[in-house]
A and B are shown apart, each in its own frame.
Chain A
Amino acid sequence: DVKVTQSSRYLVKRTGEKVFLECVQDMDHENMFWYRQDPGLGLRLIYFSYDVKMKEKGDIPEGYSVSREKKERFSLILESASTNQTSMYLCASSPFDSANTGELFFGEGSRLTVL
Chain B
Amino acid sequence: AQSVSQHNHHVILSEAASLELGCNYSYGGTVNLFWYVQYPGQHLQLLLKYFSGDPLVKGIKGFEAEFIKSKFSFNLRKPSVQWSDTAEYFCAVISMNRDDKIIFGKGTRLHILP
Contact = CB atoms under 8 A, between A and B. Distances in A.
Interface of A: 4, 40-43, 45, 48, 58, 90, 92, 98-99, 101-104, 106-109
A43 B31 CA distance: 19
Interface of B: 9, 32, 34, 36, 42-46, 49, 51, 90, 92-94, 96, 98, 101-102, 104-107
A92 B9 CA distance: 24
A109 B105 contact: no
8 contacts: A4-B43, A42-B106, A102-B92, A102-B93, A104-B36, A106-B43, A107-B43, A109-B43
Contacts of A92: 44
Contacts of B46: 103-104
Contacts of A104: 36, 44, 46, 102
Contacts of A103: 34, 46, 49
Given A40-B106, A107-B43, A101 B90 contact: no
Q: Identify which of B34, B42, B107 gathers the most chain A CB atoms within 10 Å of its CB.
A: B107
Contact of B96 (A40, A48, A101, A106): A101
Nearest to B103: A45
A48 B105 CA distance: 18
Contacts of A99: 51
Contact of A102 (B90, B102, B105): B102
Nearest to A109: B43
Given A90-B44, A106-B43, A101 B94 contact: yes
A15 to B, nearest CB: 28
A48 B9 CA distance: 27
B32 A43 contact: no
Contact of A48 (B34, B94, B98, B101): B101
Contacts of B44: 43, 90, 92, 104, 106
